[in-house]
Amino acid sequence: MSKDKTGDKSARDTHYANLRRAHRDARRERGEIPTPRQDKRKKLATDWKPPALTPEQVLLYGLHTVRAALDNPERQIIRLSVTQNAAARLELGDVSALPFPVETVTPQDLDRILGPDAIHQGVMLETRPLPHRRLEALRDCPLILVLDQVTDPHNVGAIMRSAVAFDAGALITTMRHSPTESGVLAKSASGALELIPYIQITNLADTIEELHRLGFQTIGLDSDGPQPLEGTFSAEKIALVLGSEGKGLRQKTRQIVTALARLDMPGAIKSLNVSNAAAIAMYAARQFLKG
C-alpha cells in the first residue's frame, strides 16, 4: 500500500514559508532590507495621512532613537508600541514592570500610523516633548550652534548628531521655518535629540544679541565670507551660525553676527551641505578652543 505524503509536504512547506516570512520581517525591522512595494503597500502609500498630533504629543521610532529616549530621565513617556522582535533587541525585560503602557504590535500596525516609508524597526514611542531650556543655562558652554531657518529635519538631525559628537552645549533654531521635535528629526539624529538641548526661539536677532551679552563670539558661515573660519576665532566662547539650505544666512543675521567667515575649499565645488559644513566648523572651533 502506497503512502500519501502530500499532507506532510504541505505542512512542511507552510512551516518553512512561515520561517522565511519571520526572517524577512525581522530583517525589515532592523532596517536591513526595504519593505516590498506590493499592491497593499502602494495603496497604503496613496491613502496614508500622518496622524493629527497635539503640541504635547511626539511619536519617536527606530531602535537607537527609542532606546535613547527610554534612557533619558527627562523624557515623559506615554506609551510604547513594539513588536516581539524589537522588544527583545531593546532588552526591555518584563514589560509589565515598566512604568508606562506597552502594546505588542506587528510591523504593519506601525506602517499604518507612521507611513510606509518610515524605517521604524518595529518600535514606536509616544512621548511628551522635552522640557524647554533657557539661554541663560548656556552661560558656561564654550561652543554652541545656531541655525538660521534650516528647514530639512534630516539635515537638522544630522547636525544634532555632529553637535553631540563635538560636545556642543546646545542647538538653537527658530520656531518658524525649522523642524519641531519629531520622529523624522529624532531618527536622523540617531539618539542625539536626547543628549543636547534643542532650543527653539522666536526672534533670532534678539537671541544673537543675548548670546553677545553672555560673552559669545557669533560667527556666521558664508561662502563669500571675508576670511577663512580658522583665522576668525578670537573668544573663549563661540556660537557658530549657519544658514538655510540654498539661501544661506538672512541679511539681518549677516549684519548682526560678530564676524562672517568662509570654509576654504580648494576644489571645484565651493559649498557644502549644511550638515557637512556644521561638522567641519565645529571641528575647527574645537581645535581653537583647546589650543
- Looking at residue 35, what is its pLDDT? 61
Q: Torsion angle of alpha carbons 166, 274, 203, 195, nearest 10°? A: -30
CA–CA distance, 210 with 191 (Å, rounded to integer): 29
- Looking at residue 271, what is its pLDDT? 80
Nearest to 124 by CA among 184, 75, 63: 63
For 246, residues 6+ apart whose C-beta sits below 8 A from its C-beta are none
- Looking at residue 53, what is its pLDDT? 85
Q: Using the Cα atoms of residue 205, residue 206, residue 208 and residue 212 in order, give the sign of their dihedral.
A: positive
Residues in the chain, overall count: 291
- Looking at residue 23, what is its pLDDT? 76
* pTM assigned to the model: 0.81
Per-residue pLDDT for 3 more than 90?
A: no
pLDDT (tens digit per residue) in 221-270: 998 899 999 999 999 999 999 998 788 999 999 999 999 999 998 888 87
For 149, residues 6+ apart whose C-beta sits below 8 A from its C-beta are 173, 174, 176, 177, 178, 243, 244, 247, 250
* Average pLDDT of span 92-98: 88
pLDDT (tens digit per residue) in 30-56: 666 666 555 555 555 567 888 888 889
pLDDT (tens digit per residue) in 110-140: 999 999 888 999 999 999 999 988 888 898 9
Distance of CA 68 to the CA centre of its chain: 12
